[in-house]
Structure 1
């Protein structure tokens, strides 16, 4: 019987352990051929090789390919090897990540840049490496791993939160640019017990947050019927959705003291009743000019 992701080719970065391993195993269980990428290498005894061997032992198809996501040439080489072996890349799961937690006052700029390099630029490198292939085959599913730390903030994670929210912005634009080529791009914000959460959560909490509980939400974002530009949150058996919204706000018109008016009417501006999720960033301009009764588009551009 055909499986949901039968013969789709999926790359999972940082797949030697934790969430990446769980994602790789679940994608394989759904019928995908899985590329297990891990910085630790692909040699016998490496974490990445162990995950690939586990998939094969369970009747699936997998290969382990090493590579540091911060090295664009290494990611290009990895994708070239996948194309040579399996002819295409259908799914990319940008999962690789690190933590360097400290309060902003105590955090070094080196640690700030390193987290951005791994999470943000690592995802950029991997996505860039598969982008033309997906455009040419007119099919692709890309998942960025965001976090509630980016969506909502967490003390001591200014670097991590900045990188994770940046991935939401990357997803928003790539989903628009990839739409005509059949490329769908989404975000997944996991809550899971991994090496990155040891020493942060209680043992009782960690026991309830198996990485495997996140992976079903991932599967929903990478199939033929996947949505695009969606943010799913998953952990502990629960799945939620997050949205970047815009309130109706107010229209000030021509006033001599707009700053005073904004301060006085801030509760109205912040009122979430009737808020919406814009289809594009351009809608802010469209919405604001519409309230002013101003025609937005030049003739011939409608």
Structure 2
């Protein structure tokens, strides 16, 4: 697994092609799960864990890796399954989500696959784990489940969604009448966090679950207004990882459509890494914010709302 994060430049070429690479792994049984390789730092045999007092029951202990103390979350327990036993023969996936590094204890690691986001679908209802799933796909005639890691992290460490008084008092210099802010994210937890952070702007919020839904809604809006939509939908806050159509492809589609190109796109994602700015530039996004800091998000939205004033003056 030492080569998981090499060839970053090669992976960057997938941007705008609606593709991703998934690291497949197992928990307590035969069921396979997936995690985006872009979020993975490395995969290691589980080292000795140090127990910490008063820790969350899902955290099996602390691992000291490359000079850093990392919490190790039992991913089987976190999704409602049994505790993983014999952890000395298990693996940990070191990943970076929402500006922090976590270790996920898993039963075994399979391999990396390259797949199109169109092949990744929302989870079916009644799967038992659907509360913890963000998507599913089929690999070799078997269902692969993609876990809503943001849901798990929110269960362990709830996120503050309140914006500060200072940010709340920053002016919005554009008329709010007939405006809508579009939000798209496949994680129910993330959608709720974003909504709670932006509700103080007193602008209606339209929420979609993936890039395809968001793009279809924008095109319908363009037909409704008879042309360019940015004076009605000046800003979209979009996740990057979404089934059917990812945020990069959504951005590229928006910027390629004359009626939609004026919409300011903020990519708001748990993906981290130095390559993200190159990706953002490639697809033409206006902003990139790592999840989740409500002040940064609200400030960025206000910035691009106020940008509409300058555009209209010109």
Q: TM-score category by the smaller chain? A: 0.3 to 0.5
Q: 1 or 2, which has the higher strand percentage? A: 2
Q: Which has the larger radius of gyration?
A: 1
Q: What's the TM-score once normalised by structure 2's chain length?
A: 0.33
Normalising to structure 1: TM-score of the pair? 0.34
Give 1 or 2: higher helix fraction. Answer: 1
Q: Which has the higher contact order (CA 8 A, sep 6+)?
A: 2
